[in-house]
Structure 1
């Protein structure tokens, strides 16, 4: 059921930007847009044009800047006036895409919209039909059923809502996990059922949030039940705990043999720049881009690392630093958790050859120093000085 082509649709400029404590300026958005183009994502959602005049102008500027053939989307609520404004903002793109969102879950219908299911279907039909009438037959319309992930209680109605959107002119059905509440396979099975329900009448897209920390897993697994597009964000930006992380998603798919259009060596420099633009630091343990992910301190790990360091597949490494545009390397550090191999490796890196007996002695001395001084790391420079001292006066 896996699709032949997987599309990576980025929503940083809309979903990511709207959640920032200080939303980006026009010039900053242009820079982010250009970073996305350099990454070669398959499509870009540039904003929410009907929300304010500044957003409208920005979406217009970015749409005109878009490369030929690159789908440029913008979000609109299911409102004819807003749909018209949205189309006015993005119509100058070579490949504009109208994106309409409306709630489909039982909870949202009863407690937020406070209307009947029949009225929901009428709203979907009228808004999508209107959008099709103004965008013409050659451009894409994406319909998002907001809170799809929470639509378990009224799932048969949800299927009907999506068929209504398709019949009215939508050719992409977006399935959002607007708030992550359940384990990934519950959502994935819902995606599978929608895929079987609509067949090949429309593309299936996934848009997951990371409230429980499982957005990437949910999105990646959805591909294997028929989702053709994944909506992602740079640095995992987005409301609350953020959206599906672009870097984690594309690396996970790549590691599983999927072919993507992404320029992988642009990942790390892009992540660093986005961190600068948002003021949100990258955690040292953050997958793909964290400072510490190529560091090894455990003795068992260090042994495997030294034996596989120059191989494509590392004993304790998923991918090479240079693959994602990093210039650092796998590093070995000495703490009281490290083994003899760390000392041998670090000294050899400095051109110092010592016997096994001497390494054993250095190991004991370094461990003792670390333990006595609050288990601190012993630096490479300290190990070199210790080795010279011990080898000279032993």
Structure 2
């Protein structure tokens, strides 16, 4: 297995907070930043200091935490934005401009060469102040390739240490991403960053494909939160890097706790069947599956739950078999006879088919009745 050469820039505290209705307090941002740092994330994009005084204060507070991660702030190509970021004490500033004709026309109404020239002045300005500079091409996936390459060339000439290809509207597929990275990564002269949105459900796939194709800095958010359909999910990208990219330097054991923290702070619940951190990511109901897992978990678990700080669970329902009933009952302290297992299984299936959830409380009730001589009232 070839080891991919990458680093993670997590943008939960900036792009993730741009999710409609989401606002993190300074304390929440600091707690999330601390957990990201503990995971081993190399770059944390702490925010957009020019947005407000409180945003600037939060970015400064994160810079003062003494984290191992480099702290980045986002900036428009305006001196006041860059000055605000510099005043926070960041290690890196991401200076962005739209490079598609559509965005340039809508936002500036001026020739693209004029917009580019002004942006390059600000790239040089940030570079001259001794921080790492990342030039971001917004809507790169819909930009004229010639102009995009010229933008990258000029950014590097003006002091950019990295350049970003942003699939701002999530319109790319993994096949297209391979072509993009193979075209730009070897030729721009500095590391290529990838920023993917999930409008068509390809953000994680595009990000990992980019990593395998030669991209260096990968942008992610916890739980995949972000504008519209969100961004590439940190937990998915990290597990894929470990299992497919040969990268084992990240501590994945806290991913479930990190997911729960962001869920609570953002107020955004995630789907139960969400990969890696969803409630059902490591849950099993099928009798055939459970019987196999009890013998060897690898039968139906490519990702081991303990790897990401989760536990395996068996859910009793319509598809449950005797092995699951025996195992779950035993884990709760019940040593059932064969006829008792049969009766419990009947109750579970009947309730499930009637769309009555077999909650832990309901299961306890069924198990108690199973070991009693009088089972009246135990029907579905």
**For this structure pair, what is the TM-score category when the shorter chain's length is used for normalisation?**
0.7 to 0.9
Q: Cα distance 1:237–1:372, how it changes in 2: closer, same or farther (>3 A)?
A: closer
Q: What CA distance in whole angstroms lies between the structure 1 residues aligned with 2:366 and 2:293?
A: 19
Q: Cα distance 1:106–1:320, how it changes in 2: closer, same or farther (>3 A)?
A: same
Q: What CA distance in whole angstroms lies between the structure 1 residues aligned with 2:59 and 2:49?
A: 6
1:120-179 alpha-carbon deviations (Å, 9 max, x no partner):
3323322212222222xxx4210000011222xx11221111111111111101111111
The answer to whether 1:373 aligns with 2:373 is: no
Between 1:37-46 and 1:336-345, the stretch displaced more is 336-345
Is the partner of 2:200 in helix, strand or coil?
Answer: coil
How much has 1:347 moved relative to structure 2? 4.7
1:1-394 counterparts in 2 under 5 A?
5-19=5-19, 21-67=21-67, 70-90=69-89, 93=90, 96-135=91-130, 139-151=131-143, 154-198=144-188, 201-309=189-297, 314-326=298-310, 329-347=311-329, 349=331, 350=333, 352=335, 354=337, 358=339, 361-362=342-343, 365-366=346-347, 369-370=350-351, 373-374=354-355, 377=358, 380-381=363-364, 384-385=367-368, 388=371
RMSD: 2.8
How much has 1:9 moved relative to structure 2? 1.0
Between 1:219-228 and 1:188-197, the stretch displaced more is 188-197
Q: Cα distance 1:372–1:61, how it changes in 2: closer, same or farther (>3 A)?
A: closer
Contact 2:135 2:162 in 1 (8 A): yes
Q: What CA distance in whole angstroms lies between the structure 2 residues aligned with 1:376 and 1:221?
A: 40
Contact 2:285 2:316 in 1 (8 A): yes
Contact 2:50 2:75 in 1 (8 A): yes
Contact 1:124 1:161 in 2 (8 A): no
Between 1:281-290 and 1:112-121, the stretch displaced more is 112-121
- Equivalent pairs, count: 372
Structure 2 spans left out of the alignment, 5+ residues: 376-380
Q: What CA distance in whole angstroms lies between the structure 1 residues aligned with 2:248 and 2:369?
A: 49
How much has 1:374 moved relative to structure 2? 4.2
1:36-71 alpha-carbon deviations (Å, 9 max, x no partner):
222221111111112222222222222122335x31
Q: TM-score, normalised by structure 2?
A: 0.87
Q: What CA distance in whole angstroms lies between the structure 1 residues aligned with 2:72 and 2:345?
A: 62
1:293-320 alpha-carbon deviations (Å, 9 max, x no partner):
22211233222222214xxxx2222333
How much has 1:105 moved relative to structure 2? 1.5
Q: TM-score, normalised by structure 1?
A: 0.84
Q: What CA distance in whole angstroms lies between the structure 1 residues aligned with 2:353 and 2:122?
A: 70
Q: Cα distance 1:238–1:22, how it changes in 2: closer, same or farther (>3 A)?
A: closer
How much has 1:88 moved relative to structure 2? 2.2
How much has 1:377 moved relative to structure 2? 4.0
Structure 1 spans left out of the alignment, 5+ residues: none
Q: Cα distance 1:371–1:246, how it changes in 2: closer, same or farther (>3 A)?
A: closer
Contact 1:3 1:227 in 2 (8 A): no
Q: What CA distance in whole angstroms lies between the structure 1 residues aligned with 2:352 and 2:60?
A: 61
Q: What CA distance in whole angstroms lies between the structure 2 residues aligned with 1:197 and 1:83?
A: 28
How much has 1:362 moved relative to structure 2? 4.3
Contact 1:250 1:260 in 2 (8 A): no
Q: Cα distance 1:383–1:202, how it changes in 2: closer, same or farther (>3 A)?
A: same
Q: What CA distance in whole angstroms lies between the structure 2 residues aligned with 1:166 and 1:85?
A: 23
Contact 1:344 1:354 in 2 (8 A): no
